[in-house]
Chain A
């Protein structure tokens, strides 16, 4: 084996080893952060974070959700129209928005808006020794800084996803009924009949995992930032990149899990829907 090849293999093995180290470090960080839940975080720390994560994200999530629905309607209408099924268009828009597009795109927007800001904030605190100051004052930074952010994301991202879903359904219906002049009665009647309780549940459970992933990854990146402006910038960027990738990976595995669960619970596919069967 040549020396160059040996070096390449060694470097590749080092990278793999580093990746496992990083994964182990992230797992430990997450476990330690979640373990601090035994002591309730104070309202003084929770409220401002909830305000930033929840209230201040409303416009972004609402606009994202609405445009997802509107774009879906435009893309799907011509195909359904050519098949003479324009009144069925609501089904496809609503099911796509509620099960996949709403949760995933809302989470992606929030990873960019909240995740990057969390990572930058914590990274700045790290490099300006504010995290050290917290430790010197006898306060666990994981409990004071990380836990409230994780809780805020886990609790509020599902609620924001409901808003994104609602706005998506609304946006799609406006385009179909007002622009493409689809009969509203048939549009809603057909839509209603194809949304199942299961679909709504899946659309609400996924964001809990997305919220946990966004907050833990972003806080981990921030708390382990390198010194200087470059370190803070890198922490914010990598927080978004890793959060986004984890949303997609989680979405795949959760979709697989929920599909298998659905098959196991209702093998004959007879589950309750909101509308006529």
Chain B
């Protein structure tokens, strides 16, 4: 599904750089995300993928460059407008980030209570609908997040993120720490969400099954610590098919999960082994 024609620069990063305590995490990042696209971001731990998600929703401010959403620079918006724009996003955090002190019902209803004029009956109906959509039973509504498993937390986190019908969904490692079946359930939910509502999705993951299943487009970041000063940090930008065919050894090393860095020599050895 690619509806990029409607707004090719729905989300846009222009020369974005980010540093923490003087250490560069992102450098000179440039790319656009069209409306409706599902972009999967891959890369080693610590290369700035989560930072990228937080920049996209303005939880962090870029040290250099601009992050634009729907044509507007986040930095140019006042607090009220920033909040309004943020409500157009849904964010599924790595650990789900459910509010510990609230029940599952109150967690999912949180956004509605804060921003809609729905009465409690309507809220109850909408919460139930969302909870069922993510494949959970009504019986979990009274439970506290501590009583849920990792997969259940992720699904409730997704229900909470979707309750305000966001235009952009940000998924931060949605399948990390889950068993293969639950990973597939979450991947299906990402696909189902895209089917049910016209949402632009950015998925940060290490999981190649997620890349295969949900991506319209894949980008890969490389840690700055291993790059030369002028090398681009974005080392791949293309479709899933292109990802698996790319000759870039760094990309191949990542997708095959090899700890040892690939070299041309090792590639040739591998090729000879395959031929023999």
Residues of A within 8 A of B (CB): 48, 124-125, 128-130, 132-140
Residue of B nearest to A45 (CB): B101
Q: Which of B83, B94, B161 has the most C-beta atoms of chain A within 10 angstroms of its own C-beta?
A: B83
Q: B89 near A: Cβ within 8 Å?
A: yes
Contact A137 B54 (CB under 8 A): no
Q: B65 near A: Cβ within 8 Å?
A: no
| Minimum distance in angstroms from B214 CB to a CB of chain A | 21
A31 to B90, CA, bound (A): 30
Q: B57 near A: Cβ within 8 Å?
A: yes
* Pairs of residues from A and B, 6 with the lowest C-beta to C-beta distance, nearest first: A133-B97, A129-B97, A136-B91, A129-B93, A138-B83, A138-B87
Contact A132 B100 (CB under 8 A): no
User: Told that A125-B100, A128-B100 touch, could you supply 9 new A-B pairs with CB distance under 8 A?
Assistant: A48-B101, A128-B95, A130-B97, A130-B98, A133-B160, A134-B99, A138-B115, A139-B114, A140-B83
Q: How many residues of B contact A (CB 8 A)?
A: 25
Interface residue from B87, B93, B98 paired with A132 (Cβ < 8 Å)? B93
Residues of A near B59 (CB, < 8 A) are 132, 135-136
Given contacts A136-B86, A136-B89, contact A130 B99 (CB under 8 A): yes
| Minimum distance in angstroms from A200 CB to a CB of chain B | 37
A125 to B93, CA, bound (A): 13
A-B residue pairs in contact (CB < 8 Å), sample of 22: A48-B101, A124-B100, A125-B99, A125-B100, A128-B97, A130-B99, A130-B100, A133-B93, A133-B97, A133-B99, A133-B160, A136-B57, A136-B86, A136-B161, A137-B114, A138-B84, A138-B86, A138-B111, A138-B114, A138-B115, A139-B114, A140-B83
Which residues, 123 to 155 on B, are CB-close (under 8 Å) to A?
none
| Minimum distance in angstroms from A29 CB to a CB of chain B | 16
| Minimum distance in angstroms from A253 CB to a CB of chain B | 35
| Minimum distance in angstroms from A205 CB to a CB of chain B | 32
A222 to B99, CA, bound (A): 16
Q: B171 near A: Cβ within 8 Å?
A: no
A130 to B107, CA, bound (A): 11
| Minimum distance in angstroms from A40 CB to a CB of chain B | 14
Residue of B nearest to A131 (CB): B97
Residues of B near A135 (CB, < 8 A) are 59, 86
| Minimum distance in angstroms from A222 CB to a CB of chain B | 14
A128 to B54, CA, bound (A): 14
Residues of B near A132 (CB, < 8 A) are 54, 59, 91, 93, 97
**Contacts between chains A and B (CB distance < 8 A), count:** 53
Contact flags (1/0) for B66-105 with A, using CB distance below 8 Å? 0000000000000000011011011101110111110000
Q: B110 near A: Cβ within 8 Å?
A: yes
Residues of A near B115 (CB, < 8 A) are 137-138
A132 to B54, CA, bound (A): 9
Residues of A near B111 (CB, < 8 A) are 137-138
| Minimum distance in angstroms from B95 CB to a CB of chain A | 6
A105 to B84, CA, bound (A): 46
| Minimum distance in angstroms from B215 CB to a CB of chain A | 23
Residues of B near A48 (CB, < 8 A) are 101
| Minimum distance in angstroms from A128 CB to a CB of chain B | 6
A21 to B59, CA, bound (A): 22
Residues of B near A138 (CB, < 8 A) are 83-84, 86-87, 111, 114-115
Residues of B near A134 (CB, < 8 A) are 99
Residue of A nearest to B84 (CB): A138
Interface residue from A125, A129, A137, A140 paired with B94 (Cβ < 8 Å)? A129
Residues of A near B164 (CB, < 8 A) are 137
A128 to B114, CA, bound (A): 21
A128 to B157, CA, bound (A): 13
A125 to B54, CA, bound (A): 17
Residues of A near B110 (CB, < 8 A) are 137, 139
A223 to B165, CA, bound (A): 29
Q: Which of A132, A135, A136, A140 has the most C-beta atoms of chain B within 10 angstroms of its own C-beta?
A: A136
A212 to B142, CA, bound (A): 34
| Minimum distance in angstroms from A46 CB to a CB of chain B | 13
| Minimum distance in angstroms from B146 CB to a CB of chain A | 12
| Minimum distance in angstroms from B233 CB to a CB of chain A | 23
A139 to B89, CA, bound (A): 13
Residues of A near B84 (CB, < 8 A) are 138
